Amino acid sequence: MSKFSHHVSSDEAGRTVKDILRQNFTFSSRQMNRFKKNDCILLNGAPARINVIVKAGDAINIDFSDEKSLFVPENVPIVPVFEDEDLLLINKPAGYVVHPTKGHPSHTIANGLMRYMEITGKHFKIRFINRLDMDTSGLLFIAKNAHCQEEIVKQMAVNKVEKKYTAVVCGLISTDSGIIDAPIGHPDPEKVARGVIATGSPSVTHYSVSQRYEKGFTLVELLLETGRTHQIRVHMSHIGHPVVGDRLYGGENVRLIERQALHACYISFFHPITGEHIEVSAEIPKDMERLMEKIK
């Protein structure tokens, strides 16, 4: 979305631009300061100060059109499953880092999104709302402006965003469902691995069994209350059922699959502009389908 728009009613006449924005939108103080600094607030098409008095029929717009990311466009697969002027959700394939890092400076999802914008003629600053590990597939949530990003993050903080994952884990889980409530921390800052430690951050994962395989594997659906780094992988390993293919947490099995069999399959949220409750799903990838055929 490039603009938030509002037309001043007769009841609102005589108030300031700032009053109108506060009444009709939920911009944070930080966002308002950014708008003022970058001349994003327009009154009847011209930059305006927030203390200007408005009259009936005036049009107030917040223009984000100059915001953009500076990643190098690259041919990385981008598969949209939901998109409008404010938000984008894609089905991320396994094997890609979300954004450039020291270890992966290029060929990331961010680079692919820049190429996607070139192809589609769309322009927005890339604002990732969630993260997925390089070898985890599934729904990746991107906001197209700071307001929507902040609003979805607020929903996450009060558990209004529901995130579900599908995984194949080692061993037969005996109970049909359960809750793993175990704090996750970073035992050794020199290493990537996280772990369940007493000084860790509160972390809660719900699981339910979808199918048990006689060969000694279980298909599970997982619902996150918190979003710690490697949370599902750490928690499932902690209860003795690491994710199949997870080299880091004890589930390695290259004979079956070459990465952890973990897929972000579902997200629901309230649209930050319309208030509509939206549910989005992402198909299970082919490598996980092949895995499930092998273990039947």
The ranges assigned to domains in the chain are 3-63, 80-294
CB 272 within 8 A of CB 145: no
- Return phi, psi of residue 116, to 5°: -60, -40
What number of other Cβ atoms are within 10 A of residue 178's Cβ?
Answer: 15
Residue 65's pLDDT is: 63
Q: How far apart are CA 77 and CA 112, in angstroms?
A: 6
Low pLDDT (below 50) residues in the chain: 1-2
Query: Given the structure tokens 């979003």, which residue do they identify?
Result: 227
d(CA 278, CA 273): 12
Residue 24's pLDDT is 83
Q: What is the pLDDT of residue 1?
A: 44
Q: What is the enclosing helix (H) or strand (E) of 23?
A: helix 17-24
16, two tokens: 């300031």
Distance CA 128, CA 155 (A): 15
C-alpha 77: how far from chain center: 17
The class level of CATH for 80-294 reads alpha beta
Which pLDDT score is estimated for 70?
Answer: 87
What confidence tens digit (pLDDT) does each residue in 78-126 have? 999 999 999 999 999 999 999 998 889 999 999 999 999 999 999 899 9
CA–CA gap between residue 294 and residue 289 (Å, rounded): 9
Catalytic residue among 133, 135, 246, 287: 133
Q: Is the pTM of this model over 0.75?
A: yes
CA distance 69 to 90: 18
Give the tokens for residue 221: 């659906």
Assess contact for 112 and 76: CB atoms under 8 A. yes
- The C-alpha torsion from 214 through 216 and 221 to 223, rounded to 10°, is 150
Is 135 noted as a catalytic residue in this protein?
no
d(CA 119, CA 133): 26
Q: Compute the distance between CA of residue 65 and CA of residue 124 in angstroms, rounded to an integer.
A: 7
Strands 262-270 vs 137-143: parallel, antiparallel or unpaired = parallel
The one-character DSSP state at 229 is: T
* 76 Cβ neighbours under 8 A, 6+ residues apart: 96, 107, 108, 109, 111, 112, 115
State both tokens at 126. 């890339």
Tell me which residue of 92, 94, 137 sits closest to 110, measured CA to CA. Answer: 92
- The percentage of residues in the chain with a pLDDT greater than 90, rounded to a whole number, is 75
CATH superfamily name and code, 3-63: RNA-binding S4 domain (3.10.290.10)
Q: What is the pLDDT of residue 66?
A: 60
- In angstroms, rounded to a whole number, what is the distance separating the alpha carbons of residues 198 and 100? 32
